[in-house]
Amino acid sequence: MGVLIFIVGLIVTRLFDTQIVQVTKYIVSHLANHKKIREFIMNHL
């Protein structure tokens, strides 16, 4: 059962890889301009 969930997770990740990368780049660039939010996230998460 665990192997099946792992395989499904890999498939879903590959299907949405482009969108995940775009969102991650957006978040990183947004946080680069907001020092207080970035520090809060780094200290509390």
| Per-residue pLDDT tens digits for 4-37 | 999 999 999 899 899 999 999 999 898 888 888 8
CA distance 42 to 27: 13
pLDDT of residue 10: 93
Q: What is the identity of the amino acid at 18?
A: T
DSSP the chain: -HHHHHHHHHHHHHHTHHHHHHHHHHHHHHHHT-HHHHHHHHHH-
Q: Which pTM was predicted? A: 0.56
